[in-house]
Amino acid sequence: MDAFYASVEQLDHPAYRGKPVVVGADPKGGAGRGVVAACSYEARPFGIRSAMPISRAYRLCPTAIFVQPRMARYAEMSERIFGILRTYTDLMEPLSIDEAFLDVTASQRLFGPAAEIGRMMKARIRSELGLVASIGLAPNKFLAKVGSDLGKPDGFVVVTPGREREFLDPLPISRLWGVGPKTEARLHHMGFQTIGQIARTPVEALEETLGQAGRDLWDLANGRDDRPVEPEQEAKSIGAEHTFAEDTTDRELLRRTILELADRVGRRLRRDDFLAGGVTLKFRDDRFRTITRAVILDDPTDVGDDLFRAASALLAKVDWRGSRVRLLGVTATRLQPAGQSPAGQLSLFSRGPDTRRDLARTVDTIQQRFGREAITRASLLDPSPRRKGRGKKSEGRWK
C-alpha cells in the first residue's frame, strides 16, 4: 500500500487530501519525542521520511498536518485489503499490516493472466476502499518486492522471465536484500555501485571476501530467489499493543486502552476461529522497563470482556509507582480451535449458548459491513469530564 497510514487519514478526512500529512507523535507534546510512523507523498518533498524523529519532521515542515496513529482503524482497513487479496489466491504471505507476497500461478486458470489479476486487485482496492496500492509482478519474491517499491506511488511494474538482469543491472546496490548502511559502505569500498557490477563479478571472488553473504548477494543480483510464498502459519498467539503519544499515569485512559486492545484481540480470535486459554499483559514505563504478566483462564474465550478482565487484573499486580506508562499490550495465548475443550474434545457438560459471544459476533458483522465507527462501546467514546468516572458502568454496553 502507498503511504498506508497517511492515506487512510486522507481518506477519512477529505480536508487532508493534497496536503502534507505526518502520522506520529505530537511534535509539540512530550518534548517532541517519537518518530514519524508514516507520511503522505505531499510531505516527502520537504525531506520527511518514516522513522525520522518527529521533532525534525516538524522543523522541516511546521505547516504539515500532524496526526496521532489510529491503529485500530489501520488494522480494520488492512483486514479489508487482505480480504480482497484472498479472493484471488490462498497463497498469501503477509509481511506487515500493509504489504504481502501473493502467488497467483494457479489462479490464472480461473482469473486470467497474472497481470490481469494484479490490475483487478488494484482496481478493487481503489473502488471499494478508496486507497491506492502498488504492485510488482515477477517470477520470484525478490524481484516482485523491488518492482513494487520502484513503481510507487500507484505503480504496476512487471518483470518478465528472462529479463531479470536487464531490470536489475542499473539499480543501486542498496536495492539488494541484506544490504544495510554498513554493508553498502563496504561494497562501495570494494568498487561496487550497481547491482549489475555484482552480477558480473565471479561468485568465488565475492565468497572469498564476504563468505556465504557474498553468494547470497550474487544470487539476488542475478535475479535468483527460489523461496516460495509461505501462507500464514497457524497462530500461537494473537496480540495487540499501544504506545502512548505521551507517557501517562491516567488510570482511566489505561483502562480504556486495555478494553480497546482486548476487543481488538477478541475480534481477531473470532475471525480466525480460535479460543484463548491464557492472557498475557505487556507493560512498559517511561524508563523503558518492560514487564510481562500472564494468567491461564478457567474457560477458554474469544470475548473481549473476558480478556479485558484478565488483563486488568494483571495490570493491578504491576508496581509502577513513581513511573509513567509508555506502552500496554494484550496477547491471547494457549490458542485452541473454537468449539473444543483444552483436550481437543467436545465438552461433556455444555453450558449452552453464550449470549456474549453471539453479541460479539453480531457487532463484528455490523462493523465489517458499515465500519468500526458504526457501533462501539460507550466507554470507548471520547469521554467528557462529567462522564469520565462512569466508564466501568458502561464496560459491556454498546452504542
What is the C-alpha separation between 187 and 180, in angstroms, rounded? 10
pTM for the whole thing? 0.62
Q: How many helices (H) and strands (E) does the chain have?
A: 14, 11
What is the C-alpha separation between 313 and 304, in angstroms, rounded? 14
DSSP codes joined into one string, 53-69 = BHHHHHHH-TTSEEE--
Number of domains in the chain: 2
Using the 3D structure, point to which of 51, 69, 87 is the last residue of a domain: 69
Residue in the structure block whose three cell numbers are 480451535 = 337
Q: How confident is the model at residue 351 (pLDDT cuts 50, 70, 90)?
A: very low
Q: Is 89 among the domain residues?
A: no
Task: Decide if 168 contacts 144 (C-beta within 8 A).
Answer: no
Q: How confident is the model at residue 384 (pLDDT cuts 50, 70, 90)?
A: very low
Q: Is 41 among the domain residues?
A: yes
Q: Catalytic residue among 79, 93, 99, 241, which?
A: 99
Strand partners, 66: 22
Which CATH number does the domain housing residue 302 bear? Answer: 3.30.1490.100
Q: How confident is the model at residue 244 (pLDDT cuts 50, 70, 90)?
A: confident
Q: Could you tell me whether strands 274-285 and 290-301 are parallel, antiparallel, or unpaired per DSSP bridges?
A: antiparallel
Note down the domain range covering 48: 4-69
Q: Is 376 among the domain residues?
A: yes
Local structure of residue 335 (DSSP, 8 states)? E
Task: Give mean pLDDT, residues 233-238.
Answer: 73
Q: Is 76 among the domain residues?
A: no
Using the 3D structure, point to which of 47, 69, 91 is the last residue of a domain: 69
Q: Is 109 among the domain residues?
A: no
Residue whose C-alpha is closest to residue 262's, from 201, 219, 315: 315
Query: Which pLDDT score is estimated for 381?
Result: 65
Residue whose C-alpha is closest to residue 136's, from 115, 119, 117, 157: 157
Strand partners, 35: 53
* Percent of the chain predicted with pLDDT > 70: 86
Instruction: Please give the single-letter amino acid code of residue 43.
Output: A
What is the C-alpha separation between 193 and 199, in angstroms, rounded? 11
Which CATH number does the domain housing residue 64 bear? Answer: 3.40.1170.60
Element at 81 (helix H, strand E): helix 71-86
Q: How confident is the model at residue 356 (pLDDT cuts 50, 70, 90)?
A: confident
* Percent of the chain predicted with pLDDT > 90: 60
Residue 398 pLDDT greater than 90, yes or no: no
Q: How many residues are there in the chain?
A: 399
User: Which range in 102-116, 180-194, 376-390 is most confidently predicted, on average pLDDT?
Assistant: 102-116
Residue 16 pLDDT greater than 60, yes or no: yes
Collapsing DSSP to helix, strand or coil, 333 comes out as strand
Query: Which pLDDT score is estimated for 32?
Result: 53
Of 325 and 181, more confident: 325
Could you tell me the three cell numbers for 384?
A: 467528557
Q: How confident is the model at residue 374 (pLDDT cuts 50, 70, 90)?
A: low
Core vs surface per residue 71-100: b (16+ CB within 10 A) or e: bbbbbbbbeebeeebeebbebbbeeebbbb
Q: How confident is the model at residue 354 (pLDDT cuts 50, 70, 90)?
A: low
List pLDDT tens digits, range 279-305: 999 999 888 888 999 999 988 999 999
Please, what is the angle between helix 251-272 and helix 71-86, to 10°?
Answer: 10
Residue 207 falls in the annotated catalytic set:
no
Task: Decide if 91 contacts 229 (C-beta within 8 A).
Answer: yes
Q: Is 281 among the domain residues?
A: yes
Task: Decide if 84 contacts 39 (C-beta within 8 A).
Answer: no
